[in-house]
Amino acid sequence: MSIPVTYSPMSEALLALYAYTGGDTVHSKDHDWGNGWMKDKLGFEWDNRRRSRNDILLDAMVTIISLRSGRQPVALIREPESTQLELVIASEQPMTRTQRSDIERYFALLAKLPSTIDTHGEAELLVHAYRMCREEVKGLVKARAEWLDPAPPQISDAIEDLRARANEDDEYGNRRTMRREIDILTRARSAINSLIAYRDAADADAEDSLVPRLHHALTGCISFLYVENKRDFRVIDNAIDGGISAFLVEVSFLSRALDDMIHGARSDKFLRALLTKGVRCDWIHPTPAKAVSIALEGPSWGGLSALLPALKDASLDELVARLEAKLKAEDYFLTNRNITHQSGNLPAAFEVQVAAHCEGALVSYLADRHIESTLYIATALPVCYTCHLLIDAMKGVQGCNNFRLGSYNGVIDCGWEFPNVIRQADDVQKTMIQKINDQLKEGIERYHKPKEPFVEEDWGNMETSWSTV
């Protein structure tokens, strides 16, 4: 149930920016894409490991929590003044008591792992993690059956072909390359067979018995699933009709996070010391969504133009037409999820569902404390345009705490709510709207720029059709 609100300058500014953006994302030289491979706007991302060890561990923690909650947006920070491993966790939807209990038990099992290899303790941890994320993992495996089931025999054929060629051809070191490709395909086949066995297990006990093997098969693939040059991706996809590497990446998120945490618990002395002192999770409850109605007519247009001077080069009718064209794309643009509009009604009105993002909730949580260090906010899903904008604006306002964010996807969420508690709130919001106005100015200029004549040879350099809507 949403609470009605009459006015939200941030939502109005974001709605105008969305109208003049080619798609539903904003990317510029100021935005970090995450330094590596990113699945897509809906899925988890993993960078190319140029993060600090601390950031990697926090990323792993937040990924496991998000998977337990059905892959919903989750963000966390480590409580800066705590001497134990105290995590402050914000989620888009309320976490149930069972979900919280499962996550806290996971950390308790992690704390019990000895520094040396202990297969029993590790197996108990893995089984618990897969059990608590069962619905997410098994649902994904079942949904991809049409790609999964035909894959093992196709990979076997590709391996046999490579072996035959390797015995005949050693020109320019090809035999060594082929042996590497055989190793990649053998690991992929093992992971796929383990996934099929896990999916088809008769009952929960049978599933649990398969988890250690499944985890080690998936982690055996990780080294070539997350690489910068994507060459190893192609080795797998060339062997399978339609490709399967993206699915293997998606289904291995849990095992990758578990592997990072297990390795950290065993080898990172600082983490081990924190775990020994105990783990505590502080949960921030999400606030209810609010319905903001934005009427675009003569009087309101004047106020919006005053808020965003870039609109002096646009018109009310043009803005409404562009928004209506965007909304016709429905789920194609993620921004449309929080916007409803009845076309043809006058005055044109757009209702936006506004809610606090997890990153903003964590900023509010620490707003009344002065933190000298820069805190890393770990997020399960890539950061949206406005959360990035908030953290960037705070850096330029004296008296604000400083934060770092993970990878960025640039999605414009018109339902982004300004944090309810924040230092120098007026200055921060003013800075954010100024930056939105600068971005909007670029979009309007790009829209009104005379179109270049079509040259067939240059078709590959053209923008998508949405940039000219």
Write down the domain spans for the chain.
133-251
pLDDT digits over 242-296, tens only?
778 888 888 888 999 999 999 988 888 888 888 888 889 999 988 888 898 988 8
300 or 201, which is more confident:
201
Strand partners for 147: none
Mean pLDDT of 325-339: 90
Query: What is this structure's pTM?
Result: 0.86
Given a cut of 60, whether residue 60 has pLDDT beyond it is yes
**Closest-CA residue to 152 (of 221, 241, 255, 212):** 241
Indicate if the pLDDT at residue 393 is higher than 50: yes
**Residue 340 or residue 230, greater confidence:** 340
CA 107 to chain centre: 23
pLDDT digits (tens, 9 = 90+) for 370-386: 888 899 999 998 899 99
Burial class (CB in 10 A: 0-12, 13-18, 19+), 183: middle
For the ranges 13-17, 78-82, 141-145, 246-250, the maximum mean pLDDT occurs at 13-17
pLDDT of residue 34: 41
Mean pLDDT of 426-450: 92
pLDDT over 50 at 398, yes or no: yes
Q: What local confidence, expressed as pLDDT, does residue 178 receive?
A: 86
Q: Please tell me the predicted confidence (pLDDT) of residue 79.
A: 92
Torsion of CA 453, 457, 461, 466, to 10 degrees: 50
Whose CA is closest to 134, among 206, 62, 192, 187? 206
pLDDT above 50: residue 176: yes
Q: At what angle do helices 231-239 and 174-199 cross, to 10 degrees?
A: 70
Residue 41 pLDDT grade (very low, low, confident, very high; cuts 50, 70, 90) = very low
pLDDT digits (tens, 9 = 90+) for 123-146: 999 999 999 999 999 998 998 888
